[in-house]
Amino acid sequence: MITGVGASDGIVIGKIYKHQTKELVVTKETIEESGNEIERFLEAMEESKRDVEKIMARANIEMGEEAAAIFGAHLEILNDPELSSAIEKLIIDEKTNADYAAKNVCDSFASLFDSMENEYFSARAADIRDLSSRIVANIKGVKQTSLSEIEEEVIIVANDLSPSDTAVMQKDKVKGFITDIGGRTSHSAIMARILEIPAIVGTGNATTLLSSGDFVIMNGSTGEVIVNPDAATIEEQTAKIKAYNEQKAIWKEYRDKPSLTKDGGHLLIGANIGDVQDVNAAVENGSDGIGLFRTEFLFMGRNSFPTESEQYEAYKEVLSGMDAKPVIVRTLDIGGDKELGYFKMEEELNPFLGNRALRLCFSMPEVLKTQLRALLRASVHGDLHIMFPMIATLDELLKAKAVLRETQEELSRENIEVSDSYKVGIMIEIPAAALVVDVLAKEVDFLSIGTNDLIQYTFAADRMNEKVSYLYQPYNPSLLRLINMVIEGAHKEGKWVGMCGEMAGETDALALLIGMGLDEFSMSPSQVLKMRYLAEKIDSAEAGNLAKAALTCTSEKEVLELIGKFKDSDYKLIGMEV
């Protein structure tokens, strides 16, 4: 059995597909017979063109013309005689191997484009780097497939999956995924929960122990992978799948009910989404709104920044799709583990402590402005809440609000209508912001606690590094005191507080957070109904006592024991064990 961190619920049985993400090693060799190398290179070019044509045709059918155009640009580069002749020349002049020559020439073309510091050329540089790996793989005879090319139902095993890997994944083909590294809050895990694909991360060695074609049963709740199971195990697991589905059917009955506690207290249980299409899942699961739209995913899987009108269409669709329910749209949060192929970020020693999210947006004012213009224009189509991520200081918040104000004035000069009731809020995900919540709350309409980052910054433990994953401690009294401080501080200013970090979707956290007075919970759509069902079994006053006791505990273990007792006493929260 292989074990990892259960990152997205569900049990599936299927065949393994190993996704190789490692870069191929290319070394310079001296070759006496250049003719053979040129032949190898030309064959690889033809093979690469066939690969790209195939992907382009599929992209056109499944993702539309825009996605296909990305691959059209790849074909143009492959057909560019300048590129081919430069590679052939290097093979002859330096009597070197084809893969080295191809990589070398592609790298220098890409660097040249990068140095032009222009969005269009940066995108071309990213295209060339992508193609360089494809050509080199074809010269070496190694097939490197993209996740968009999978043709049968499989469970993917990879060292890691980037957010853009998950963005191009075909949801109907991928039954689940298992990775060597990553934690519950890495973005590929978050995407898996949104897509309702069972996932296990941080196994350490799944790629070593599993091969393509292996038959496995994976449990995305417990983090267990059973390899090549016998008939009795398959039968036992099939029964578990059945029981899980029956439980889901009970939760489904809560789809059109309001989110209430046992004593009738109102909560909002919203959905976290990353894509316009995710609105369907949010609606199907009866979400009370969108608590977090991670807009950075709109910026991925393409070869240039989305234009104002493309963004406007996306925001409009989400707002109107939610039918006047609140929609919290977070401004672009790239950096950290979220990269864009067409926009090269400077390498940093500590990307999560570096130029990410709003900090990066301030250095690209036109990108932020374009997004805010699109959002404000879309504001007339629903109940828009604009949320700024990674606020550390009051100055940053005031600066963001000033850009928003300027943008609104600009639109008003152009006679473009903007709703007069949209709301402005911030994420509390940096301890510095939590500590001055009273100051920040005066400047906003609402706040939302981002525990994924708040935990990593409070414990100084990189959320991507499994060696320090023991410090991911949502139930540690230090974090609970920060959360409590934020809720109390914001309430004193008459502002409501939500939570959109992964903790909001944890069943163990529900009573504790109700007890602290959290107003809104936002989680992947697939968790909404389970939480609504459980909330109805919790009495606010009892939960308040639980929270009070937890705040005086000395360790996470002690808090978890308290929660355990709470679950075992009057409430018998069935459903918790899934």
289 torsion bin: left (phi>0), alpha (psi -120 to 50), beta (else): left
State in angstroms the smallest separation of the CB of 12 from ligand PEP. 25
| Annotated catalytic residue, options 106, 361, 385, 500 | 500
Tell me the C-alpha distance between 458 and 437, whole Å: 15
- Residue 294 touches which member of Mg ion, ligand PEP, none, C-beta under 5-8 Å by kind: ligand PEP
Which residue, 391 or 513, is less far from Mg ion as judged by CB?
A: 391
Residues 469-508 as x/- pattern, contact with ligand PEP by CB under 6 A = -------------------------------xx-------
Which residue, 132 or 164, is less far from Mg ion as judged by CB?
A: 164
Eight-state DSSP code of residue 161: -
Which residue, 206 or 483, is less far from ligand PEP as judged by CB?
A: 483
Pick from 160, 275, 288, 333: which binds ligand PEP (CB under 6 A)? 333
Pick from 301, 351, 425, 450: which binds ligand PEP (CB under 6 A)? 450
| Annotated catalytic residue, options 19, 187, 381, 385 | 187
Name the residue among 305, 553, 312, 557 with its Cα closest to residue 411. Answer: 312
Pick from 451, 458, 476, 527: which binds ligand PEP (CB under 6 A)? 451
State in angstroms the smallest separation of the CB of 287 from ligand PEP. 16
Which residue, 67 or 190, is less far from Mg ion as judged by CB?
A: 190
Segment interacting with ligand PEP, rule: CB under 6 A, options 53-61, 431-439, 444-452, 565-573: 444-452
* 500: annotated active-site residue: yes
Q: Is 371 exposed, middle or buried (0-12, 13-18, 19+ CB in 10 A)?
A: buried
Q: Is 462 exposed, middle or buried (0-12, 13-18, 19+ CB in 10 A)?
A: buried
Pick from 74, 103, 175, 294: which binds ligand PEP (CB under 6 A)? 294
Which residue, 185 or 237, is less far from Mg ion as judged by CB?
A: 185
**Residues of this chain, 405-444, that bind Mg ion according to CB under 5 A:** 429
**Tokens in use for 573?**
């929260």
Query: Any contact of residue 326 with ligand PEP (CB under 6 A)?
Result: no
Whether residue 301 contacts residue 130, with contact meaning beta carbons closer than 8 Å, is answered with: no
Which residue, 132 or 185, is less far from ligand PEP as judged by CB?
A: 185
Sheet bearing 174-179, strands edge to edge: 2-3, 224-227, 215-219, 11-19, 154-158, 174-179, 199-201, 5-8
Which residue, 429 or 539, is less far from Mg ion as judged by CB?
A: 429
Residues 443-482 as x/- pattern, contact with Mg ion by CB under 5 A = -------x--x-----------------------------
- Residue 451 touches which member of Mg ion, ligand PEP, none, C-beta under 5-8 Å by kind: ligand PEP
Whether residue 216 contacts residue 226, with contact meaning beta carbons closer than 8 Å, is answered with: yes
Residues 6 or more apart whose CB falls under 8 angstroms from that of 536 comprise: 254, 260, 261, 262
State in angstroms the smallest separation of the CB of 207 from ligand PEP. 25
Q: Which residues of 143-163 are buried (b: 16+ CB within 10 A; e: fewer)?
A: ebeebbbbeeebbbbbbbbbb
Residue recorded with tokens 């799944």: 206
* 187: annotated active-site residue: yes
Name the residue among 163, 203, 169 with its Cα closest to residue 183. Answer: 203
SS3 522: strand
* Binding-site size, Mg ion (CB under 5 A): 3
Q: Within 13 A of 111's CA, how many CA atoms are on the CB side? A: 6
Tell me the C-alpha distance between 311 and 534, whole Å: 36
**Rule CB under 6 A: which residues touch ligand PEP?**
185, 292, 294, 333, 429, 450-453, 500-501
**Rule CB under 5 A: which residues touch Mg ion?**
429, 450, 453
Point out the residues that are catalytic: 187, 500
